[in-house]
Every structure is written in C-alpha cells, then in structure tokens.
Amino acid sequence: MKFQLCSSKYYLILWKTLSLATLLLIIFSPCVITIKITLILIATCYIKYSFNKPELKELSKEKDHWKLKIGDKIFEGVLAKDSVITPYVCVLRFKTNKFTRTFVMFEDSFQNCDDYRRFNLELRF
C-alpha cells in the first residue's frame, strides 16, 4: 500500500510555536548578554536546519519493511517498536542501514483524507 504525503499545517504551527517560545525564553532569561546572543545563534541555526531538512514524501509498505521516499532518495527501513500511533498523531521511527529517522505525522500529512485512517490500520496489523 502506498501513501502520498505533504506538509502538515498542524506540524508547522506546532514547530513555529515551539521555536518562538524557545527564542523568547532565551531573550527573557536572566543571563549575561554574550550567553544570550550565543544561545540565540545556536537556536536560530537549529531552527533553520530543521526547516530545510528534506521531508518524507511517500511511504509504501512491502512484506516486512517500508520504502521511504525522502526528498529524491528512496530508502528501505523497518518500523521501530518504540513508534507511537494514536488516532490524532503518529510518531514513527524507521531504522535503515544508514540511519534511524523519526517522523511526526498528523492527519493532514496525507494528501487523501482517508489515507490517515488506512495508514493507522496498516500499522496496527
């Protein structure tokens, strides 16, 4: 079964809110200005890196593994046991030969409305 994915609005709102909260906490913390500037630079670089990472575009289930299309590359991976699946959000960890990667998927991450429901059913069986 193949699932086409897109950017989630819920995920972007959550990520932007957490990024803004992080920067505000750093700005209003009672630290020396040099430490604040250093922390702001580090947080800004991490936020920029996180937004520019290639995203998961397609998932397809084979017999005992998953095919992941990340950017333009295709990887084969196994779904880790510590993945979390709920009716509202999935936190999936895939282990490949090269890396372990975590993906957060909301209902609006799928191009078709019914795909999230079918995806949840596929993960449970």
Nearest to 121 by CA among 77, 81, 87: 87
Encode pLDDT of 2-36 as tens digits.
Answer: 888 888 899 899 999 999 999 999 999 998 999 99
Name the pTM for this structure: 0.77
What integer pLDDT is reported at residue 24 of this predicted model? 95
Encode pLDDT of 76-124 as tens digits.
Answer: 999 988 999 888 899 999 998 888 989 999 989 888 878 888 888 888 7
Contact 89, 106 (CB under 8 A): yes
Encode pLDDT of 56-77 as tens digits.
Answer: 899 988 888 899 998 888 999 9
Query: Which DSSP string corresponds to 56-116?
Result: EEEEEE-SSSEEEEETTEEEEEEE-TT-EE-SSEEEEEEE-SS-EEEEEEEGGGBSSHHHH
User: Average pLDDT of 36-51?
Assistant: 92
